[in-house]
Amino acid sequence: MTRIAAKTPSDDVDGDAGALDVGRLQEHVGYALRRAQLAVFQDFIQTMEKVALRPAQYSVLLVMDTHPGLKQTEIAALLGIKRTNFVALVDELEQRGLAERAPSPTDRRSNALYLTKAGKALLARAEKTVTEHEQRLIGLIGVEGKRQLLGLLSKLAELG
Amino acid sequence: MTRIAAKTPSDDVDGDAGALDVGRLQEHVGYALRRAQLAVFQDFIQTMEKVALRPAQYSVLLVMDTHPGLKQTEIAALLGIKRTNFVALVDELEQRGLAERAPSPTDRRSNALYLTKAGKALLARAEKTVTEHEQRLIGLIGVEGKRQLLGLLSKLAELG
């Protein structure tokens, strides 16, 4: 059951919905996905604060590590980040010395992106921290639950 | 594997990441949740367009039906909608004749919310339409998959 912070009835004096449920809404996959995603992101954001990265910055560093030399437009498309937001994001990573732009060997008009040594080191620290976050999730749903969940979510992502 | 729109290599000429994968990112629960949630919401938003409702409006109508006479602050808290956004949302429902405010019987300073007859009728139509959306999801993951998914998501939502 999805409930908001449960309080004793005597606490329930001013604008608190107490232990009310959302009724039939909790049977909707979209609603359940949104609630879980907000909770997981909240924990992930706090986890990433230890290495001073926002979730999107972490994703970009990880993709740059997986595919060195990818073009800016390619990474932005892969992660579904808007072009203007993406440029600002890479500017910040470059200013922090974590990433660098270089002319693309395959396309002179665009920049390829590379992690610097400092970027690789920070990513390694970040991934260790992320492991703690994933362990908290596994504490809630188990290793087998995580495997099931990733399988189900990947099928849903194919929608549309 | 999470992939963006796959194209043949010869199409892959300008800023398209083709069949690149996001690497280790796809093992992260938060990333998988976000991708699935975006896909499911996209379908849900299109579904709700048939009854001219946005997802948040639908949620509010459904909760008003489940708990008639709830205070504005209570519904907003229950659904995690910010107070200012919520007031505008209820204004719109009221202007469309779907909901009405009345002084709360338990708290004269705040308004209780009720569905009108038209609101109940539209909600019934909306819920029929939502069934089609949920059937599309079940087509991807099965009835048992949906049951598993809701169970796993509800555990994750308890995080933090």
Q: How far away is chain B from the Cα of A125, in angstroms, using its nearest Cα?
A: 15
CA distance B16 to A79: 12
pLDDT in tens, A25-34: 989 999 999 9
Average of per-residue pLDDT across B146-156: 97
Distances in Å between the Cα of A22 and the Cα atoms of A103, A135, B61 are: 53, 29, 11
pLDDT in tens, B5-44: 333 333 333 334 446 788 899 899 999 999 999 999 999 9
* pLDDT computed for residue A130 by the predictor: 96
ipTM of the complex: 0.82
pLDDT band at A12, cuts 50/70/90?
A: very low
Q: Name the burial class of residue B143, with classes exposed (0-12), middle (13-18) and buried (19+) by CB atoms within 10 angstroms of its CB.
A: exposed
- Per CATH, the number for A50-156 is 1.10.10.10
Where are the domains positioned within chain B? 1-49, 53-156
Is residue A1's pLDDT more than 60?
Answer: no
Q: How far away is chain B from the Cα of A113, in angstroms, using its nearest Cα?
A: 13
Interface size A-B, in CB pairs within 8 Å, comes to: 223
B154 CB within 8 Å of a chain A CB: yes
* pLDDT computed for residue A97 by the predictor: 98
Is residue A42's pLDDT more than 80?
Answer: yes
Q: Which residues of A touch B145 (CB under 8 A)?
A: 152, 155
Q: Which residues of A touch B30 (CB under 8 A)?
A: 37, 40-41, 44, 55, 133
Q: How many CB atoms lie within 10 A of CB B46?
A: 11
CATH architecture entry for B53-156: Orthogonal Bundle (1.10)
B148 CB within 8 Å of a chain A CB: yes
Instruction: Flag if B22 and A63 touch (Cβ within 8 Å).
Output: yes
B2-14 burial: b if 16+ Cβ within 10 Å, else e: bebeeeeeeeeee
